Structure 1
Amino acid sequence: MFHRLVRTPRFIPKLTSKMSTVQNPLPASFLRGGTSKGVFISKDTLPPNRADWAPIFLGIMGSPDAEYGRQLDGMGGGVSSLSKVMVVGPPSPAQRAQGIDAEYTFAQVGITEASVDYSGNCGNLTSMIGVFAVDEGLCPPPAVVGAEGDAGRGTIRLFNTNTQKVIDTTFPVTAAGAPVLDLPETEMAGVPGKASRIVLDFVDPGGARTGRLLPTGSPRDTLTLADGRTASASLVDATNPTVFVDFAELDAFLPLEDYLVGKSAAVAQVSPVLDALRQQAAVRMGLDPAAQAQPKIALLRAPHTTEDAAQGVDIVIHALSMGVLHKAVPMTVGLCLGVASKVEGTIAWNIRNGASAELVRIRHPGGVVDVGAEFGEDGQVKSAKVVRTGRRLMKGVVWH
């Protein structure tokens, strides 16, 4: 005898009349982009008012999970890189006239707290926005560029509503313009095997949130801790605002080596200090210090191992996301570092000794990545580029 399996809907507080008409489950795709995974949703399936999205996204991800922090009741994975939603739609008529193919909004969903943050962008998942838009018919297939018989390339121009910036994403396509993701073209740290090469080009990335590449006007600022100690920081806003601090300087009075390997006593001592620096920097940048998602903070240090030398590493980075050490590097932070390393006087510039190589090789906990930044003759950053890969994981419906 067969019994019908019924899923009890999860209670969502403060449902509005508009939200009551939203499908449950919602059509969605689950995709990997770079070292992140997330749920991709077409904008036209959501309420028109973004204020109504939060309960839906929290339900999808299984948040808040204050007791266990694993998000087992949803699609989240208990870490910030797996608790993300991308909302994608066609461009407005004005955007289309400017050559935009699709627009998108990134939502960073809290894990233990009922928070949904729209203050920044996700560089990793951005690599799959163009693919999703083409797959879902939200924009026409791209024009194919490439030699006959070879895998052609197509470019989709995106508009990110979080940062009000334009990003070009270029990937292999068939003759009809369909995205091809399984070519053994490139590999990236943190992801096994090879896949198709996806190039992200963040156009005019400076001032993504604050309107200025250097929000304070200085490549290096001094932050003061509660005990009177000071720390140098470079406050840079490119693709996403980031606070870069000097590992060697902080290591003089904090157990950073123990912190990096997760020793609980060191984590308890270091974490509050780093967040205090981040919050103070946020105020200097004109941002909300209470918003954990932006700005992010990252420790920078010079290459220091034989492996660094063998791999030609320029800078070593340990970045935090939502107050926790990231297992790789948020790609927008990596891109911001690529830009910062070419701005004279920043901590990154000093670590590289002002080297002018086109690409900057960054080592993060998951491996090595090359990022590039192009500046105009006027000293303004024109673009920031990085190579990613991605994969379609699932298409169907998701309950909220």
Structure 2
Amino acid sequence: MAHVPQIKIPATYIRGGTSKGVFFRLDDLPESAQIPGPARDALLLRVIGSPDPYGKQIDGMGGATSSTSKTVILSRSIKPEHDVDYLFGQVSIDTAFVDWSGNCGNLSAAVGSFAISAGLVDSGRIPHNGMAVVRIWQANIGKTIIAHVPITNGEVQETGDFELDGVTFPAAEVQLEFMDPAADEDGEGGSMFPTGNLVDDLVVPGVGTLKATLINAGIPTIFIQAEAIGYTGTELQDAINSDPQALVRFETIRAYGAVRMGLIEHVDEAAKRQHTPKVAFVAPPEAYQSSSGKAVAASDVDLLVRALSMGKLHHAMMGTAAVAIGTAAAVPGTLVNLAAGGGERTAVRFGHPSGTLRVGAEARQVNGEWTVTKAIMSRSARVLMEGWVRVPGDAF
């Protein structure tokens, strides 16, 4: 019996921040996958190796974690004053689903460098030596990201001595500016604080009534207090991910929080919106040992944060959630701000399972409403492999 042969598609496998994913130029995709829809989703699922009932993604490029089950599509921007349009697809591991509802802040660090190398940025905007400023339109959420990409002898500089907790080896530093990261009148949720409150009483059947800060900044995020759910904020992955009851509890909190934020109408819809919102728990500073064995002293951080992504505790911190953390910390009275000691602040260093991360945010109150002009943090990115990815020709 004859079978349809494989096709090959130009692709690049890149680490960005503490994530990695498969990057494509839009024009390189098969014609049917160049537009949103079932063909595109089916192609990306097959590339990554999903759905996989074994949860391993052995027959694809995915790494069987939320941090490594990711795809990116880039094209020259159609948005004025922008260089590149960036579309992110979070691929489910065990179900046939690609979530387009949010951004990946970690892979954002790789967008500028890939765009330059792929010829998507006008050559006149790239110095022979120095820093290239790449203006990125994040198409999932309709926001601008500014990437500062180091250039040496006309090419992207990837190697360097910048160390990022959660990444084993050093690389070149890439500074990211997430401009106006909170939701606006055209975005989901309607405002930075969709309920109008800095702290809400979130009623979660089977769990209880929890104090929660519900924020749309970077990515919709539900912040709760660690102690309210029996944790200290020093937990590593195994403490949460090896506890099925805990994971169900967090997913229930996430679902009811999504309804309260206006992202879905009924909790049953949360299963079709796995990427957003995120749920995180916060605590005041406390000493702990990171997943690498590195000691983190209480004096090293302003607060502790642990966040879940795609139903599991993240091994470090999602970049978009870091934006939410920095933004919430800058607003006096949120649970994040209070865990950091309260008061006004323009930057915060928080402890996560792999170590620490600093993020800055500029927040201000206008006519009684909180807004944030930008959030800033540094990541790194490195091309791991480039060439072609192959998939069966009848897979999409």
- On whether the aligned pair clears a TM of 0.5, the verdict is yes
Report the equivalent of 2:292.
none
Residue-by-residue CA offset, 1:13-48 (whole Å, 9 max, x unaligned): xxxxxxxxxx92111000000011100001112333
Shift of 1:256: 8.7
Q: Report the equivalent of 1:173.
A: 151
Greater shift, 340-349 or 238-247, is seen at 340-349
Of residues 32, 48, 53, the one that matches 2:15 is 32
Q: Confirm or deny: 8 A CA contact 2:331 2:363 kept in the other structure.
A: no
Structure 1 residue matching 2:275: 3-state secondary structure:
coil
User: Which residue is equivalent to 1:113?
Assistant: 95
Task: Return the alpha-carbon distance in structure 2 between the equivalents of residues 380 and 256 of structure 1.
Answer: 28
Deviation at 1:262, TM superposition (A): 3.4
In structure 2, the CA distance between the partners of 1:209 and 1:174, relative to structure 1 (3 Å rule), is: farther
Distance 1:101 1:49 in 2: 20
Deviation at 1:335, TM superposition (A): 1.2
Q: CA RMSD in A?
A: 2.4
The farther-off stretch of 370-379 and 347-356 is 370-379
- Contact 2:86–2:136 at 8 Å: present in 1 too? yes
* 1:210 Cα deviation after fit: 2.4
- Identify the residue that residue 375 of structure 2 maps to in structure 1: 384
Offset of residue 329 of structure 1: 1.0
How far apart are 1:283 and its partner, in Å?
0.7
Q: 5+ residue gaps in structure 1?
A: 1-6, 11-22
2:41 to 43, 50, 54: 54
Q: Give 1:167-206 correspondences, 5 Å limit.
A: 167-176=145-154, 178-184=155-161, 186-206=162-182
Asked if 1:395 is matched to 2:386, the reply is yes
Superposed displacement of residue 310, structure 1: 5.5
Match of 1:133 among 115, 125, 140: 115
* Mean CA deviation greater in 26-35 or 220-229: 220-229
Equivalents in 1 of 2:190, 2:113: separation in Å?
A: 29
Q: Is the 8 A contact 1:206 1:212 kept in 2?
A: yes
Aligned to 2:363: 375
> Which residue identity does 2:92 align to in structure 1?
G
Unmatched 5+ residue regions in structure 2?
Answer: 265-269, 289-294, 392-396
Contact 2:304–2:351 at 8 Å: present in 1 too?
yes
Q: Which residue of 1 aligns with 2:238?
A: 261
Distance in 2 of aligned mates of 1:89 and 1:349: 38
Of residues 115, 140, 143, the one that matches 1:162 is 140
Cα separation, 1, equivalents of 2:107 and 2:225:
28
Residue pair 1:120, 1:162 contacting (<8 A) in 2 also: yes
**2:225 maps to 1:246:** yes
TM-score, length basis structure 2 = 0.87
Inter-partner Cα distance in structure 2 for 1:209 and 1:256: 29
The count of corresponding residues between Structure 1 and Structure 2 is: 368
- CA gap of 1:194–1:8, structure 2 versus 1, over 3 A, is farther
- Higher relative CO (CA 8 A, sep ≥ 6), structure 1 or 2? 2
Give the equivalent residue in structure 1 for 2:281: 299
Matched, 1:86 2:72: yes
| Paired residue type of 2:25 | S
Q: 1:158 and 1:263, CA in 2 relative to 1: closer, same or farther beyond 3 A? A: closer
The CA distance in 1 between the partners of 2:130 and 2:233, in whole Å, is 47
Q: Which residue of 1 aligns with 2:394?
A: none
Contact 2:57 2:64 in 1 (8 A): yes
TM normalised by structure 1 equals 0.86
1:43 aligned residue (22, 26, 30): 26
Distance 2:99 2:124 in 1: 31
Offset, 1:209 = 3.6
- One-letter amino acid matched to 2:374: S
Kept in 1, the 8 Å contact 2:199–2:211? The answer is yes
Residue equivalent to 1:65: 52
Distance across 1 between alignment mates of 2:60 and 2:181: 33
Q: Which moved more, 1:370-379 or 1:112-121?
A: 370-379
CA contact (8 A) 1:209 1:240 kept: no
What one-letter code is carried by the residue in structure 2 that aligns with 1:195? A
**8 Å CA contact retained: 2:88, 2:104:** yes
Counterparts of 1:268 and 1:335 in 2: how far apart (Å)? 28
